[in-house]
């Protein structure tokens, strides 16, 4: 029996509609993955509170300006513990965001542990030669602690150059691994964007360390300069031997001067800043060190006469002639007796050697480890400036603080007793400060004819105020000093405390500070992004496992059953008529 014609038409119409619908879906899928001039036609809506999936404007501009392929090889393929799996997926998400901003971004994930034993060993040996060393990660989960040898690195290739990025932040004692992983996730965009930005540089910017005023020697800053030379040129300039500091110096570092600056040298620094120069001030206010106390029952330190107070005051900063003590501190050894003919040493907390944990969300110190400052002074931030200068606190002491104004008698006798918390009851003191804005010149209405003649010979004009620029002040010059072994002239890593046997984050602080000063594109803004850690209550989750399993399985089935019954009831009612 032949089917009615209208039924055949209805089937044909349904088939056409189905094909049309499939075609529209296919077209939308192709369109969603298409690009025009490297710009993606698709987008997404970031509904997270902290906008974790939204690239900063500077990062997006950097990626949109690429003119060649950036290939990123991530060594995070494989099966990882649950906590570390988050870093793997977060890295993939960030790279997808990068790729959505630029068609020049390509990436792949590799597993260094894949293959035969011989292949794995050869691969690990090569990675070790490239400075890529594995990490034995311990992650606590519901079923206990799991361990895995991993390589949390990304290798970025651009125009025959490469840069290795460590995706995992260093662990800090007392900080849970979950927090370290969360900090690592929050810094992914910055680390990857910063590496791409550095690979784009046509030439290395120059960072100049001043000399001639008793600053730290090249040996004492060797470890810092070694890290800087990967992407910067470093050198020394004696201010007495130059007429001016040119703009070819991207930044100037003044590291622990001990002798006064002449007015001529201060004028050179002032006009360098007025022309947009950046300065990292690492200054000791009080002349004291651990060596100056050895072999003495007591010592009265003096204030360094650097002749910089008026210059810094004009810029909105005043370093006070005092010493900050903190119960959060590192230790020093003291002889407590004799064992035979050899002295016996014990370690005591020494509140003049501060262990400062950054509390600010500023990009320079966000997620930074503990910094070791020696005999630091407090910084007065209340100084008013003629022009608008923004001040951001980078480091400050803990609430368990005490301040001593000089002159003060210093000795080790108080260490033989436990530190009394009642005596460390003053407010936190500022120890490092970032300043940004337009700075007034100290020599406005004070410039002499000889100064003007010197500028005229250079084809320069006196500037009474600066173009927008930045500077950072740290009230401890030793923050940049690495220890030197007097026997073999070897150096210790910057920030390494031989008494506590711990590497503090001093070098990271200075590297971040210089990157902040030199970052005109604002990529370091991504370092300030916050990814909030929302930890699962593992005890509660384990206790309520059965309930949530039943909830997740039973509730959908109950909805499905209810829908089926309702549909069947409506269908019967409809056709019963």
What confidence tens digit (pLDDT) does each residue in 149-197 have? 788 899 999 988 888 989 887 766 666 667 777 778 888 888 899 889 8
Which secondary-structure segment (H or E) carries 282? strand 278-282
Mean pLDDT of 499-510: 92
Domains annotated on the chain, with CATH: 47-198 (3.40.30), 203-520 (3.40.50)
Separation of CA 231 from chain center? 17
Looking at the predicted structure, is the pLDDT value of residue 305 above 80? yes
Cα(14)–Cα(2) distance, rounded to whole angstroms? 20
| Residue 9 clears pLDDT 70, i.e. is over it | no
Q: What is the DSSP letter of 442?
A: T
Q: How many CB atoms lie within 10 A of CB 22?
A: 10
pLDDT of amino acid 36 = 52
- Report pLDDT digits (tens) over 526-539: 776 655 555 555 56
Scored b (16 or more CB within 10 A) or e, 149-167 reads ebbbbbbbebeeeebebbb
Give the 3-state secondary structure of residue 396.
Answer: strand
For 411, other C-beta atoms within 10 Å of its C-beta total: 11
Give the chain's end-to-end CA distance (angstroms, integer): 29
Task: Look at residue 254 and tell me whether its pLDDT is greater than 80.
Answer: yes
**Mind listing the pLDDT tens digit for each residue in 388-399?**
999 999 999 999
d(CA 525, CA 513): 13
CA 475 – CA 319 distance, rounded (Å): 7
Q: Tell me the backbone φ, ψ of residue 354, rounded to 5 degrees.
A: -80, 140
Distance CA 276, CA 518 (A): 11
Q: If you average pLDDT over each of 2-16, 144-158, 461-475, which comes out highest?
A: 461-475
Check if the beta carbon of residue 292 is closer than 8 Å to that of residue 323. no
What radius of gyration do the chain's Cα atoms show?
31
198 membership: H or E segment, kind and range = helix 188-200
In three-state secondary structure terms, 93 is helix
pLDDT tens profile 89-138: 889 989 998 998 888 999 999 988 888 888 888 888 888 888 888 877 66
Contacts of residue 259, defined as CB under 8 A and 6 or more positions apart, other chains included, come to 213, 214, 306
pTM score above 0.85: no
């Amino acid at each position: 029996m032949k089917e009615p014609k209208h039924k055949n038409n209805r089937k044909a119409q349904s088939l056409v509609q189905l094909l049309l619908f499939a075609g529209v879906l296919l077209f939308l899928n192709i369109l969603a993955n298409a690009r025009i001039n490297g710009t993606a036609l698709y987008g997404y809506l970031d509904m997270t509170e902290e906008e974790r999936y939204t690239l900063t404007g500077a990062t997006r501009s950097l990626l949109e300006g690429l003119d060649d392929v950036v290939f990123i090889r991530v060594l995070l393929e494989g099966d990882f513990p649950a906590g570390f799996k988050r870093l793997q997926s977060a890295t993939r998400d960030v790279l997808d965001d990068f790729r959505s901003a630029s068609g020049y971004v390509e990436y792949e994930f590799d597993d260094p542990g894949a293959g035969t034993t011989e292949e794995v060993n050869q691969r690990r040996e090569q990675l070790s030669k490239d400075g890529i060393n594995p990490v034995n990660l311990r992650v606590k989960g519901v079923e206990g602690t799991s361990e895995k040898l991993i390589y949390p690195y990304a290798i970025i290739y651009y125009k025959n150059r490469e840069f290795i990025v460590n995706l995992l932040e260093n662990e800090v004692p007392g900080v849970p691994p979950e927090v370290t992983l969360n900090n690592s996730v929050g810094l992914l965009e910055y680390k990857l964007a910063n590496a791409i930005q550095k690979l784009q540089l046509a030439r290395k910017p120059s960072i100049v360390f001043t000399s001639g005023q008793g600053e730290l020697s090249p040996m004492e800053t060797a470890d810092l300069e070694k890290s800087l030379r990967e992407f910067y040129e470093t050198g020394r300039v004696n201010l007495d031997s130059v007429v001016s500091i040119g703009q070819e110096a991207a930044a100037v570092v003044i590291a622990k001067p001990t002798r006064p600056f002449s007015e001529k040298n201060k004028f050179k620094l002032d006009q360098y800043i007025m022309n947009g120069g950046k300065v990292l001030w690492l200054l000791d206010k009080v002349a004291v060190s651990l060596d100056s106390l050895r072999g003495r029952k007591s010592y009265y330190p003096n204030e360094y006469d650097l002749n910089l107070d008026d210059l810094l005051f004009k810029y909105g900063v005043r370093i006070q002639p005092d010493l900050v003590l903190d119960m959060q501190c590192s230790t020093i050894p003291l002889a407590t007796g004799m064992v035979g003919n050899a002295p016996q040493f014990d370690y005591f907390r020494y509140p003049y050697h501060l262990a400062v944990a950054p509390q600010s969300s500023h990009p320079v110190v966000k997620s930074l480890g503990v910094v070791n400052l020696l005999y630091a002074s407090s910084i007065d931030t209340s100084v008013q400036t003629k022009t608008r200068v923004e001040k951001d606190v980078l480091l400050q002491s803990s609430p368990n603080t005490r301040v001593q104004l000089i002159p003060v008698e210093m000795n080790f006798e108080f260490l033989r007793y436990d530190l009394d918390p009642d005596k460390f009851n003053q407010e936190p003191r500022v120890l490092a400060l970032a300043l940004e804005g337009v700075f007034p010149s100290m020599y406005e209405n004070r410039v002499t004819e000889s100064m003007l003649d010197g500028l005229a010979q250079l084809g320069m004009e006196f500037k009474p105020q600066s173009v927008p620029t930045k500077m950072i002040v740290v009230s401890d010059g030793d923050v940049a000093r690495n220890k030197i072994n007097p026997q073999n002239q070897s150096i210790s890593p910057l920030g390494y405390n031989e008494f506590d046997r711990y590497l503090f984050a001093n070098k990271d602080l200075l590297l971040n500070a210089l990157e902040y000063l030199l970052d005109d594109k604002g990529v370091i803004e991504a370092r300030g992004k916050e990814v909030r850690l929302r930890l699962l209550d593992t005890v509660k989750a384990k206790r309520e496992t059965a309930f949530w399993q039943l909830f997740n399985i039973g509730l959908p089935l109950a909805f499905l059953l209810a829908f089926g019954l309702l549909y069947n009831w409506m269908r019967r009612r409809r056709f019963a008529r």
